[in-house]
Structure 1
Amino acid sequence: MTDRIFSLAALTVLELSPPDMVEAAARAGYSHVGLRLVPATEQEQHFPLVADASLRRQTQARLRDTGTKVLDLEILRLKPDTCVADFKAILDVGAELGGTELLVAGNDPDESRLTERFAHLCDLAADYGIYPHLEFMPWTEVRDLRQAMRVVANADRGNACVLVDAFHFNRSASALADLATLAPERLRYAQLCDVAGPVPDDMDEILRQARNERRFPGDGDADLVGLLRALPANVPLSLEIPTRQLLEQGISGEQRARMALQRAKAVLAKATSLP
């Protein structure tokens, strides 16, 4: 377990600028961070790393000074009108910052077109040594693990991967048996959190929970031990755990990051112990 990479995801501490996030992650005990180059929504707070060269320099300086590395880059969306070539500037910045994993959302109802563009993105990313990961989320057009696996398989690219997020795995009713059939090389990192209560009937409520009310590992109902045992050994774990209630209570980003890491290590210890 000592060799496991833990990365602090941007959504966990979205209020922090990238340089401050790197500093908080390093102080909290993380070796890596995930950087959000493109906002997930128009409403969220965003720090424009792609457009702001000064912010990039500050971030790179903090990475260098703390010894922290970048694990993943987010978030690119494949939509009906997407031109994959337009992502080049984002990949340029991501590679400059040292990221190797790329989070991709599928927002195109035409699965054939989505697959074709995902393959094109993989080809573009390959020039940078970057691995696109298709993340299934129940409110997107790639709703569950099986569908993400199908798109990645049909894209048929060596750097094409699937991203498993514990929240989405639970809320999409994806199965550990399916995960066990996925080749380990298609899983280069995973996102860890916990989730409480039954799956809501309302998709808007699922989305609200995903962005605001996740739980620290071990504080919810998800079978995280089973999930961790089904993932490849020593796969890097990105802790993506937005907890708006704690933020509103004034608990700092660094404190929340530290709490997340402590809980994640405790759950991982259970998963890696003998039965």
Structure 2
Amino acid sequence: MAAQRRRRLVTKTVIPQPASVREDFSAHDYSVAHLSALTLSPPELIEAAAEAGYRYVGLRLARVTPDEPHYPIATDPALLKRTKSALAATGIRVLDVELARIGPHDDPKRFLRLLETGAELGARHVITQLPDTDRDRKIEHFAQLCDLAAPLGLSADLEFPSWTETPDLTEAAHVLHAAGRPNAGMLIDLLHFARSRSSIGELARLPREWFHFAHVCDAPARIPSTVEGLIHTARYERLFPGEGGIDVTGILAALPPGIPYALEIPRASLTAQVGEKESLRRAITSTRRHLGTALRPAR
């Protein structure tokens, strides 16, 4: 089984398209990131995703902040069973699990149970962050996580929030190049990409096999001047694609065609008005509408 899951990580060769060919952005599968509706338990999120028309979910197995809801699937057999039952009943699949956030004093092995649970749920990727100022150490930690994930058929996909010690595309790319692991990946979150002022040109030149899925959203063009402001937008008030100032289609055009689009669009104000399920439905409807009117630029 491990060998079968490893084969799923092999990226297909993409034949360059003629300059006259333009790809429809709407030809993608959609996932919903757990942060979009973190008050929903994993079984509830899976059921809501099915009702709204998503194909995948991303599940948060490890708490990121002390005050957010926590769903201990890795240590709660009953919750794990209910989650598996919801997946089987709906046909929804788990795209990714999170979060392996490896700080200076963390041993990557402490995330092994998270990885094993993700694999048991059928996940393909584990989202990773590296809040560490020591470049050599974080490269070594990332490489170790990749090695732990590989036998389970998982890729480790590095995310770079702009307020962390791995703050932009350039630094994340350095880590992946230096780690040199075949299951190393990079998660492009459109908000973090824009807030870090990363380069679309640089993104387009990076190895295609690094990119397995993307976190899609929009946000106001003005970048908050404080860490608190950056985090507030990221966790509570993102926008649907086309409603803000991020170059959504420009960034997506620099990524490989056909990868899943995971909607990470927490909107606390909207959710308070219409509820989690309706917010998730509006997110996928609005995104499909916006991307359906845009074509990937010929290159």
Report if TM-score (shorter chain) is over 0.5. yes
Q: Given the alignment of the two structures, is residue 78 of structure 1 paired with residue 102 of structure 2, yes or no?
A: yes
TM-score, length of structure 2 as denominator length: 0.89
Instruction: Find the aligned partners of 2:277 and 2:164 in 1 and give their Cα distance.
Output: 31
Q: Which runs of 4+ in 1 moved over 4 A?
A: none
| Alpha-carbon contact 2:253-2:297 (below 8 Å) kept | no
Q: Secondary structure at the match of 2:205?
A: coil
Q: Which residue of 2 aligns with 1:191?
A: 215
The aligned runs of 1:31-70 (5 Å cut-off) are: 31-70=55-94
Q: Which residue is 1:150 aligned to?
A: 174
Matches within 5 A, 1:163-174: 163-174=187-198
CA contact (8 A) 1:229 1:271 kept: no
Q: Provide Cα deviations, 1:11-66, integer angstroms capped at 9, x if missing partner.
A: 00111011010000000000100000101111111111111110110010010010
Question: Could you list the per-position Cα deviations for residues 210-250 of structure 1 after superposition, in whole angstroms to 9, with x for gaps in the alignment?
Answer: 1111001111111101111111101111100010111222x
Question: Does 1:24 find its partner at 2:36?
Answer: no
Q: For residue 6 of structure 1, what is the aligned residue in structure 2?
A: 30
TM-score (norm 1): 0.97
TM superposition shift of 1:273: 5.8
Q: 1:153 to 1:248 in 2, by over 3 A?
A: same
Question: Given that residues 224 and 267 in structure 1 are in contact (C-alpha distance below 8 angstroms), is that contact kept between their aligned partners in structure 2?
Answer: no
Any idea what SS the aligned residue of 1:272 has?
coil
Shift of 1:192: 0.2
Q: How does 1:67-146 map to 2 (within 5 A)?
A: 67-146=91-170
SS in 2 for 1:197: coil
Query: Which consecutive residues of structure 2, in runs of 5 or more, have no partner in the other structure?
Result: 1-23
Instruction: List aligned pairs for 1:207-222, cutoff 5 A.
Output: 207-222=231-246
**Aligned-partner residue type, residue 263 of structure 1:** S
Once residues 173 and 257 of structure 1 are traced to their aligned partners in structure 2, the CA distance between those partners, rounded to angstroms, is: 28
Other-structure match for 2:293: 270
SS of 1:116's partner is helix
CA contact (8 A) 2:241 2:286 kept: yes
Shift of residue 199 of structure 1? 0.8
Q: What root-mean-square deviation, in Å, do the aligned CA atoms of Structure 1 and Structure 2 show?
A: 1.3
Aligned with 2:209: secondary structure? Answer: helix
Q: CA deviation at 1:3?
A: 4.7
Once the 2 structures are TM-superposed, how far is the Cα of residue 118 of structure 1 from its aligned partner? 0.2
Count of aligned positions: 274
**Deviation digits for residues 151-199 of structure 1 (CA, Å, limit 9, x no counterpart):** 0110000010111001001111111011011111000011000001311
The alignment partner of 2:187 has SS state of strand
Using a 3 Å threshold, how does the CA distance of structure 1 residues 86 and 274 change in structure 2: closer, same or farther? closer
1:151 to 1:274, Cα distance in 2 relative to 1, 3 A:
closer
The question of whether the paired residues in 2 share the 8 Å contact of 1:189 and 1:238 is answered with yes
Aligned equivalent of 2:279: 256
What is the alpha-carbon distance in structure 1 between the residues aligned to residue 178 and residue 51 of structure 2? 42
Aligned-pair CA distance for 1:274:
6.5
Q: Contact between 1:22 and 1:68, CA under 8 Å: does it hold in 2?
A: yes
